[in-house]
């Protein structure tokens, strides 16, 4: 019999929620507790993607064996708790063999495409194991390869999904099936038009969940993680951080974009396009509640949260004397666009442009944006100064440019810090500044104390 679930829920479980057998079992209980959950999107088990990324960078053979061993242990700790381990062990062994083969190739000829192929195995394994956990609990559910619907461009490591293709593919291949049974799929991974595996950038499983939510017109997307919602700042930095019960799409997407770790930065875009509420909660403690991200909230506060984004690079471009000043900005931004360098923070003086570049999000560890070709091109227009290891701290709020005393509230707490760059005014709803990476925690603590405690 076909059941129709108009208000169905996409539930996404992060790495800690599928870290081991017990975590998978808890997550399975969450799925089973709500009959509207029809599509489950999973991350790789905690730690697995990091291991795979290291393998993809090409390791010495003894280090490689070490990592492969750790990976195998994580999988077998789960398999050994299953009632019928042999049902799935063969498939996992095959994937582990693939990983080993790809890791060897990576030592001779590493590439971003190879890296994506390799890291995709984390989600492939966790989703197979979870499907088996569900099956042993007697649930009608099936494993589904997300790559057959998540069509992306070919930017390996940080691929861009093609929204209308995803919608069409999901409608054809996924919709009919979620009406029959619970479908279990992978976050993070996709496929380009040439059939090659791609990834959406670190933490991209959240994004997959909302993309599929959008494609299938879900009533809600639930993101299950290891914290009970979105906090006023990272509680590991400021233990007095408070949980936010409800928050608007734009506030939450500012937080994610400026580094708050709870959601992948692009996650809320599909949700906003289709006005799908996103719930964030802890799979370890469902009773603790969580945060609902939706279109608007009552009484938006002046200050909402403090976010921090690490691994920032500051480029200072000093115009050469012989260069005409009136075309300097245009020339530099044309060059950056030609070299595919995106920046979201800029300040200028009469002869210098300062830009912050973000390298905290790509799947592979290094910053590939600063190429020799870019430096060569820049050198004919300006003298370049590069400062790495900075952190971007952002205060997210509402109508900050219209309120009095905001700058005083922020900077009077930061007397002990060398602030390297400040951006305020372009957005009404945030104020950001760069400072040395090792000062970020104490700056966030001080700001949070002043504004939220």
- Binding site for substrate, by residue number, is 49, 123
Residues in the site for ligand ASP, rule: CB under 6 A?
14-15, 43-44, 49, 122, 187-188, 202-205
Whether residue 137 contacts residue 128, with contact meaning beta carbons closer than 8 Å, is answered with: no
Shortest Å, Cβ 68 to ligand ASP: 18
Instruction: Give the dihedral sign, CA 145/148/151/152.
Output: positive
Write the CA distances from 350 to 317, 318, 324, 377, integer angstroms: 11, 10, 12, 21
Site for Mg ion (CB under 5 A): how many residues?
2
Range in contact with Mg ion (rule: CB under 5 A) among 12-20, 326-334, 396-404, 405-413: 12-20
Range in contact with Mg ion (rule: CB under 5 A) among 126-134, 154-162, 198-206, 294-302: 198-206
Q: Per the annotation, where are the binding residues? A: 12-15, 49, 123, 225-226, 231, 236, 261-262
Nearer to ligand ASP, 188 or 224 (CB): 188
* Number of C-beta neighbours around residue 153 at 10 A: 14
Nearer to Mg ion, 190 or 203 (CB): 203
Q: Determine the Cα–Cα distance for residues 435 and 314; give it in Å rounded to an integer.
A: 10
Q: Determine the Cα–Cα distance for residues 158 and 60; give it in Å rounded to an integer.
A: 26
Taking CB within 5 to 8 Å according to partner kind, which of ligand ASP, Mg ion, none is near residue 270?
none
Nearer to Mg ion, 14 or 257 (CB): 14
Nearer to Mg ion, 224 or 433 (CB): 224
The correct pick among 10, 11, 12, 14 for binding Mg ion (CB under 5 A) is 14
Listed in sequence order, the DSSP H helices in 197-248 are 205-215
Taking CB within 5 to 8 Å according to partner kind, which of Mg ion, ligand ASP, none is near residue 397?
none
Shortest Å, Cβ 43 to ligand ASP: 3
For residue 312, which of 432, 193, 149, 158 has the smallest C-alpha distance? 432
For residue 424, which of 447, 393, 401 has the smallest C-alpha distance? 401
Shortest Å, Cβ 319 to ligand ASP: 39
Shortest Å, Cβ 269 to ligand ASP: 16
Taking CB within 5 to 8 Å according to partner kind, which of Mg ion, ligand ASP, none is near residue 49?
ligand ASP
Whether residue 205 contacts residue 12, with contact meaning beta carbons closer than 8 Å, is answered with: yes
CA 155 to chain centre: 16
| Token pair in block for residue 445 | 């603590």
| Residue 138, phi-psi category: left (phi > 0), alpha (psi -120 to 50), beta (remainder) | left
Asked whether position 204 contacts Mg ion by CB under 5 A, the answer is no
Shortest Å, Cβ 206 to Mg ion: 6
Q: Determine the Cα–Cα distance for residues 446 and 294; give it in Å rounded to an integer.
A: 29
Nearer to Mg ion, 102 or 263 (CB): 263
Shortest Å, Cβ 189 to ligand ASP: 9
Shortest Å, Cβ 134 to Mg ion: 21
Asked whether position 203 contacts Mg ion by CB under 5 A, the answer is yes
Nearer to ligand ASP, 205 or 394 (CB): 205
Q: Which helix (H) or strand (E) holds 99?
A: helix 86-108
Nearer to ligand ASP, 233 or 267 (CB): 267
Asked whether position 161 contacts Mg ion by CB under 5 A, the answer is no
Shortest Å, Cβ 202 to ligand ASP: 4
CA atoms within 13 A on the CB side of 263: 33
SS3 361: coil
Taking CB within 5 to 8 Å according to partner kind, which of Mg ion, ligand ASP, none is near residue 202?
ligand ASP
Taking CB within 5 to 8 Å according to partner kind, which of Mg ion, ligand ASP, none is near residue 283?
none
Output b/e per residue, 179-211; b: 16+ Cβ within 10 A. Answer: eeebbbbbbbbbbbeeebbbbbbbbbbbbbbbb
The secondary structure of 272-291 as a DSSP string is HHHT--EEEEETT-GGG-EE
Shortest Å, Cβ 265 to ligand ASP: 12
Taking CB within 5 to 8 Å according to partner kind, which of Mg ion, ligand ASP, none is near residue 187?
ligand ASP
Q: Which helix (H) or strand (E) holds 325?
A: none
Nearer to ligand ASP, 47 or 277 (CB): 47
The radius of gyration of the chain from alpha carbons, rounded to an integer in Å, stands at 23
The secondary structure of 385-453 as a DSSP string is EEEEEEEEEEEEESSGGGSTTHHHHHHTT-TTS---EEEESSSTTEEEEEEEGGGHHHHHHHHHHHHH-
Nearer to ligand ASP, 120 or 291 (CB): 120
Taking CB within 5 to 8 Å according to partner kind, which of ligand ASP, Mg ion, none is near residue 126?
none
Give contact residues for Mg ion (rule: CB under 5 A).
14, 203
């Amino acid at each position: 019999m076909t059941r129709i679930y108009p208000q169905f829920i996409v539930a996404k479980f992060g790495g800690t929620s599928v870290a081991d057998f017990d975590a998978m079992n808890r997550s399975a209980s969450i799925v089973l507790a709500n009959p509207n959950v029809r599509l489950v999107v999973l991350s790789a088990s905690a730690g697995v993607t990091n291991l795979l990324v290291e393998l993809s960078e090409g390791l010495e053979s003894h280090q490689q064996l070490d990592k492969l061993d750790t990976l195998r242990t994580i999988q077998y700790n789960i398999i050994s708790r299953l009632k019928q381990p042999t049902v799935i062990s063969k498939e996992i062994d095959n994937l582990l063999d693939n990983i080993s083969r790809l890791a060897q190739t990576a030592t001779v000829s590493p590439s971003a495409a190879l890296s994506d192929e390799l890291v995709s195995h984390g989600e492939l394994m966790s989703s197979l194991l979870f499907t088996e956990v569900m099956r042993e609990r007697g649930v009608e559910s099936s494993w589904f390869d997300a790559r057959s619907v998540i069509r992306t461009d070919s930017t390996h490591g940080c691929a861009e999904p093609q929204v209308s293709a995803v919608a069409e593919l999901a409608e054809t291949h996924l919709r009919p099936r979620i009406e029959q049974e619970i479908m279990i799929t992978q976050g993070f991974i996709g496929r380009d038009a040439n059939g090659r595996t791609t990834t959406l950038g670190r933490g991209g499983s959240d994004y997959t969940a909302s993309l599929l939510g959008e494609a299938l017109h879900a009533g809600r997307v639930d993101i299950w993680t290891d914290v009970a919602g979105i906090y006023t700042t990272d509680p590991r930095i400021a233990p007095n951080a408070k949980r936010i019960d409800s928050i608007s799409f734009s506030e939450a997407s500012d937080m994610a974009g400026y580094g708050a770790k709870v959601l992948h930065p692009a996650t809320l875009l599909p949700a906003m396009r289709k006005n799908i509420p996103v719930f964030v909660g802890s799979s370890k403690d469902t009773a603790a509640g969580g945060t609902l991200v939706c279109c608007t909230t009552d009484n938006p506060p002046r200050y909402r949260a403090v976010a921090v984004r690490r691994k920032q690079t500051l480029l200072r471009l000093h115009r050469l004397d012989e260069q005409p000043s009136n075309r300097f900005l245009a020339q530099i931004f044309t060059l950056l666009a030609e070299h595919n360098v995106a920046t979201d923070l800029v300040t200028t003086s009469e002869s210098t442009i300062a830009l912050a570049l973000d390298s905290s999000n790509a799947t592979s560890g290094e910053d590939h944006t600063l190429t020799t070709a870019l430096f060569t091109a820049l050198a004919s227009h300006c003298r370049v100064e590069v400062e790495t290891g900075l952190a971007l701290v952002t205060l997210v709020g509402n109508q900050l440019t219209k309120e009095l005393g905001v700058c005083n509230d922020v900077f009077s707490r930061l007397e002990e810090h060398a602030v390297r760059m400040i951006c305020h005014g372009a957005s009404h709803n945030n104020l950001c500044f760069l400072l040395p990476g090792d000062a970020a925690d104490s700056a966030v603590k001080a700001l949070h104390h002043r504004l939220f405690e």
